[in-house]
């Protein structure tokens, strides 16, 4: 049982390398979905494994065994392995929960501040212009979705570049990219091995919006120029937006500009990268499920409901 529960805790450390290759092998939208689904499954499997390890350690103690209606404390093959693993799992879950709550509160405050700021200004459709000396532009989710842009950003771009920037931010809202960013953030707090995948998912979201904007305005060079100029304008600017509100100026802008200046990406069939991510997620989920079922069986044995 313990060996099975360790597999979901080790597999995520192997994911960042293929994740970085995903954008080279798949179209941005396909990469965004593949990466996000993989990290969500991996994060869920790791949390389930950690929880099973914690409960295993607790039910080995007589006081908790009595609370669980166990006839005798849970029996495992080696206390020298199980008890340290349970203690470590408790620490990891505690730290992860603490950092997640702290991050969630910070992001919620930032979202409320950005939403309040946007709602105080008259909007032209989905576009909200804020008077500010700091260039900034981002897609703000909510009801309704908003494209927030400052007057300083408008002054930094030409008319055609503004349209490309607006098309980029509209693609973020239309694609619900904030949901992918939230999923990546949650996964990063569930397992440290998934933290390097978080910026890759953010880059995939930006690349997807880049391609959608280029298709909307019909000019890849114009879109690349708009993103580059907007990024240069906001380089020394401070934004109040939450991290899950995507913006055209985030991520490795030179890499994104180079992709736009190259030929449009071809939509490829599922590559070995997608297959590898799916295998990692399946192995992790399967091992976690098998470990949890084995733990449940041991609990039933300890309760006297099933013979060993």
Q: Of 164, 133, 128, which is closest to residue 148 (Cα–Cα)?
A: 128
Rounded Cα distance between 74 and 273, Å, is 41
Q: Cα(16)–Cα(57) distance, rounded to whole angstroms?
A: 31
Within 13 Å of residue 148, how many CA atoms lie on the same side as its CB? 30
Place of tokens 């309760």: 303
Tens-place pLDDT, residues 10-62: 999 999 999 988 888 888 999 999 999 999 999 999 999 999 888 887 777 77
**Alpha-carbon span 88 to 53, nearest angstrom:** 9
Q: How far apart are CA 178 and CA 159, in angstroms?
A: 27
- Give the whole-angstrom CA distance, residue 68 versus residue 107: 38
Paired tokens of 21: 């290759």
Give the pLDDT confidence of 40-50 residue by residue, as tens digits: 999 999 999 99
Residue whose tokens read 């499954």: 41
pLDDT value for 66: 63
User: Which band of pLDDT confidence, cut at 50, 70 and 90, is reported for residue 147?
Assistant: very high
The predicted model scores a pTM of: 0.89
Q: State how beta strands 137-140 and 123-124 pair.
A: unpaired
Above 70 in pLDDT, residue 71? no
Beta strands in the chain (DSSP E): 123-124, 127-130, 137-140, 146-150
Q: 197-217 vs 220-233: helix axis angle to the nearest 10?
A: 130
Question: For a pLDDT cut of 90, what percent of the chain falls above it?
Answer: 51
């Amino acid at each position: 049982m313990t060996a099975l529960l360790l597999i979901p805790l080790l597999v995520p450390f192997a994911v960042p390398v293929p994740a970085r290759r995903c954008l080279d092998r798949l179209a941005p939208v396909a990469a965004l979905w593949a990466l996000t689904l993989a990290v969500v499954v991996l994060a869920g499997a790791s949390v389930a494994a950690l929880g099973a390890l914690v409960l295993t350690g607790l039910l080995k103690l007589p006081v908790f065994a009595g609370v669980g209606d166990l006839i005798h404390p849970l029996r495992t093959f080696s206390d020298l392995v199980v008890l340290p693993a349970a203690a470590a799992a408790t620490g990891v879950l505690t730290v992860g929960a603490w950092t997640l709550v702290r991050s969630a509160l910070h992001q919620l405050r930032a979202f409320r501040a950005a939403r309040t700021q946007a709602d105080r200004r008259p909007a032209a459709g989905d576009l909200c212009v804020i008077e500010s000396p700091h260039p900034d532009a981002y897609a703000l989710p909510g009801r309704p979705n908003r494209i927030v842009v400052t007057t300083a950003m408008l002054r930094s771009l030409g008319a055609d570049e503004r349209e490309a920037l607006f098309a980029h931010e509209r693609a973020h809202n239309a694609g619900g990219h904030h949901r992918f960013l939230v999923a990546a953030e949650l996964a990063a707090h569930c397992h440290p091995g998934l933290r390097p995948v978080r910026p890759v998912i953010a880059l995939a979201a930006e690349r997807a919006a880049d391609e959608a904007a280029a298709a909307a305005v019909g000019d890849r060079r114009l879109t690349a120029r708009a993103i580059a100029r907007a990024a240069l304008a906001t380089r020394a600017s401070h934004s109040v937006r939450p991290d899950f509100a995507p913006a055209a100026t985030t991520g490795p802008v030179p890499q994104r500009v180079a992709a736009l200046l190259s030929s449009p990406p071809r939509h490829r069939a599922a590559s070995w990268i997608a297959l590898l991510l799916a295998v990692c997620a399946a192995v992790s989920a399967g091992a976690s499920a098998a470990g949890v079922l084995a733990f449940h069986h041991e609990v039933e044995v300890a309760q006297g409901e099933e013979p060993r």
